[in-house]
Amino acid sequence: MEDEKQILFAGFGGQGVLSMGQFLAYAAMNTGKHVSWVPSYGAEMRGGTANCLVTISSEEIYSPLTEHPLVAVVLNRPSLDKFETKVKPDGCLVINTSMVDRDPKRTDLMVLKIPVNELAEEMGNTRGSNMILLGAYLEKTSVVKVEDALQHFEVIYRGKKEKVIKRNREAFLAGVEWAKKNW
């Protein structure tokens, strides 16, 4: 499928990896796309490995799994070490430079770097780093338009306290603004 996009989010438990993927899946679904979200995490939740694969398409998705996603969004060094070789040629790596201390070895990928943890600390919202990264990624790629994602924040965070929704929205917008200025 030509328009099918598979995005892998990877990090460790507690970084909001699964939430990022779930947010993207819901945002895409709310714009009429077909989506799948496949989570995977180690036996230990916080601190263990965590990743998820999101597939977005305008047509029916026949298999939600792939060994070679088009994009890998990595939040820590072990995830870069594990998934860099799996990204499709001419794909994209999005790297949290706050937790990754090396450059990718491959030269056939678009590499987008962002100091997510530092930006979250500057905002006084250390738990918002995943949304900063997601906002920056969507601003750069438009896999889901930023406006569409913002329109569905209350739907995606249904049942959460207003303060939680507001802080996540602020973090998301901080990522969007960072990408506009730096990518």
Q: Which CATH number belongs to the domain containing residue 41 in this structure? A: 3.40.920.10
In the predicted model, what is the mean pLDDT of residues 141-145? 95
Whether 170 shows a pLDDT value over 60: the answer reads yes
Task: Supply 148's token pair.
Answer: 């569409």
Q: What own/partner pairs with CB < 8 Å and gap ≥ 24 does 156-163 have?
A: 156/22, 156/23, 156/26, 156/27, 156/30
Q: Return all residues near 127 (Cβ < 8 A) that are at least 6 apart.
A: 16, 120, 167
Predicted confidence band at 146 (pLDDT cuts at 50, 70, 90)?
A: very high
* Residue whose token pair is 């901080």: 174
Q: What is the pLDDT of residues 44-62, one digit of tens each?
A: 555 677 999 999 999 999 8
Residue 47's pLDDT is what?
63
Decide: pTM greater than 0.85.
yes
Percentage of the chain modeled with pLDDT above 90: 82
CA distance 19 to 43: 18
What is the distance between the alpha carbons of residues 90 and 87, in angstroms, rounded to a whole number? Answer: 8
Range of the domain at 98: 5-182
Q: Across the chain, what does the average pLDDT equal?
A: 93
The pLDDT value recorded for residue 43 is: 60
Contact criterion met (CB below 8 Å) for 150 and 169? yes
Comparing 49-53, 120-124, 134-138, which segment has the lowest mean pLDDT? 49-53
Tens of pLDDT along 20-46? 999 999 999 999 999 999 999 766 555
Return the pLDDT at 13.
Answer: 84
Residue type (1 letter), 105: K
Give the position of tokens 């998301």. 172
76-108: pLDDT as tens digits: 999 999 999 999 999 999 999 999 999 999 999
- Contact indicator for 112, 152 with CB cutoff of 8 Å: no
